[in-house]
Amino acid sequence: MKADRLDLAVLLIVAFCLAGVAAVAFFSDPGRQPALVAYLYPATSAPHNVWLAEMQDPAAKRQLTFSDAGVYDFDISPDGRWLAYAERHSSGAVALRLLDIPAGRTRTLVDCVAIKALCTTPVFSPDGAKLAYQRSETASRGFGLPRIWLVSLLGADYDTVPLIADSQVLGHSPVWSGDSNTVAFYSADTTQPGILIFDFAPRGDDGVQLRFIPSSHGAMGALSPNGQQLIFPELVRRDGRFYTHLRIADLAARQFAAFTDPQGPTDDVAAQWSPDGDTVALARQYTDARWTPGHQLYLRRLSDETESLRAVAYDPRYNSSYFRWNRAGDALATQRFPLQSEGAAKPEVWAHDLRSGESRLLAADAFLPQWAGA
C-alpha cells in the first residue's frame, strides 16, 4: 500500500511538472505574447524615461526606468528581457545601465561616471551576446570624439573593450548585421567622412576586417541582415538645393549603385531593411506635384522586377523619419511629428500593422520607439 501511495505521489509530481513546463511554453510562445513597443517619454520636458506599451492596447503601458536625471537613449535585447539605457548624471557624464525587465532589477553595465565619459547609443547584437555603444572620454576641453566599444554579455563581469584597438579609429551610431558578424558605424573623423564596416570574421578572400565607404552625408546607413549590403544616404545638389538620395553598396563585390534616383523628384532621408532582407522601408518626400509637407514611409520589395513603392500609413499631416521593423517583419514602429497642430507640436509614437494596414497611436509627446522582443 505504501508503495502504491508513493507511486501515486511521484505521478502527481511529474504531472504537475509537465503541466508547468507546458504552461511556460504556452505563455512564452512569441505568437501569444503582446506586441510591445518601448519609447522615451515625455519628449518635451525632462527627465525622459523609458516606457513600454502594447501595440494592440496602448493604454496598457508601464514605466520601466525612474531616472531623476533622465535617459539619453536605449535599446531592448532581441528576446525582450534586457533594457540597456544611457543614464545622464549631474556631473555631465552618461553611464550605461542594464535592467532585467521581468525581474525589475537594475545594475550598472559600464560605470562611465567613474571614468568621466559619455557612454551612449547602446545596441544589442542580434544573437544577444554583445552590446555595442559609443564612448567619448574626457579631453582637455570637455569630451573628446567618440569611439565604438563593446560589452560582453556572456559573463557576469560584463567586460568592455574598444571594438578596434587603434585609438585613432573614431565613430558613432553603431548598427549590427542580422548575423551579428558585422558592426558598421559612421566615422567621426571629419577629415575623412564616411562609413566604417568591421567584420569579426572577414567575409572576403583578402582577410580584411575593416572597410571604408566614403559618404559626406553624416548619417549612418542600414546593413542588410546578412551583412553583405549597405544602404546609406548621400547628398546631391539639384536646382540649386541639396537633397538626399540612397545608395547601395555590395560589400562582397565591392560595387556601388544608386538605390534611389539621385536626379529624381525625391528626397530620401532614411532606410531600414526588413528582417528577411527582401523589403526596404524608406522615408521619402516628393518634390514634384506629389509633394507633401513632410516625409512619408514607403516599402520597396527587392524581389520585384519593378522599383514600385507602396505607401505605409500615408498622411500628409505628419513627418516620418525614424522607424524600426519588428522581428516578424510584419509591423513598423515609427516616430511621427505632426505638422498641423493647434498648440505646440509634439512627436508621437505609432505602430503600423502591415498585414491589416491598421495604424495605431501608442503615445503622444514620445520619441525613439523600439520593439521589445516582438
**Across residues 3-28, what is the average pLDDT?**
46
CA distance 340 to 354: 25
CA distance 226 to 243: 29
The whole-number pLDDT of residue 4 equals 58
Q: pLDDT tens for residues 126-178?
A: 999 999 999 999 887 789 999 999 999 998 899 999 999 999 999 999 999 99
Q: Answer for the pair 286, 245: CB distance below 8 angstroms, yes or no.
A: no
Nearest to 373 by CA among 124, 50, 172: 124
The whole-number pLDDT of residue 5 equals 58
Is residue 25 pLDDT above 50, yes or no?
A: no
**Across residues 24-29, what is the average pLDDT?**
38
**Across residues 28-34, what is the average pLDDT?**
55
Q: What is the DSSP pairing of strand 36-41 with strand 367-371?
A: antiparallel
Q: pLDDT tens for residues 239-262?
A: 999 999 999 999 888 899 999 999
Q: Answer for the pair 37, 359: CB distance below 8 angstroms, yes or no.
A: no
Q: Calculate the alpha carbon distances from 299 to 128, 147, 336, 340, 363 in Å.
A: 28, 33, 17, 25, 24
CA distance 116 to 29: 42
- Bridge partners (DSSP) of residue 97 are 85, 108
**Across residues 200-221, what is the average pLDDT?**
89
| Cβ-based burial of 51 (10 A; exposed 0-12, middle 13-18, buried ≥19) | buried
The whole-number pLDDT of residue 8 equals 52
More confident of the two residues 11 and 183: 183
Is residue 67 pLDDT above 80, yes or no?
A: yes
Q: pLDDT tens for residues 290-347?
A: 999 999 999 999 998 788 999 999 999 999 989 999 999 999 999 999 998 777 899 9
Q: Within the chain, what is the greatest distance between any pair of CA atoms?
A: 96
The whole-number pLDDT of residue 7 equals 58
Task: Give the Cβ contact number of residue 174 at 10 Å.
Answer: 24
Task: Give the 3-state secondary structure of the chain.
Answer: CHHHHHHHHHHHHHHHHHHHHHHHHHHHCHHHCCCEEEEEECCCCCCCEEEEEECCCCCCEEECCCCCCCEEEEEECCCCCEEEEEEECCCCCEEEEEEECCCCEEEEEECCCCCCEEEEEEEECCCCCEEEEEEEEECCCCECCCEEEEEECCCCCCCEEECCCCCCCCCEEEEECCCCCEEEEECCCCCCCEEEEEECCCCCCCCCCEEEEECCCCCCCEECCCCCEEEEEEEEEECCEEEEEEEEEECCCCEEEECCCCCCCEEEEEEEECCCCCEEEEEEEECCCCCCCCCEEEEEECCCCCCCCEEECCCCCEEEEEEEECCCCCEEEEEEEECCCCCCCCCEEEEEECCCCCEEEEEECCEEEEECCC
Nearest to 213 by CA among 251, 180, 243, 244: 251
Mean pLDDT value across the chain: 90
Is residue 30 pLDDT above 90, yes or no?
A: no
Q: In b/e form, how buried is each residue of 127-144, taking b as 16+ CB within 10 angstroms? A: eeebbbbbbbbeeeeebb
Is residue 2 pLDDT above 70, yes or no?
A: no
Q: Considering only CA atoms, give the Rg of the chain.
A: 23
The whole-number pLDDT of residue 142 equals 82
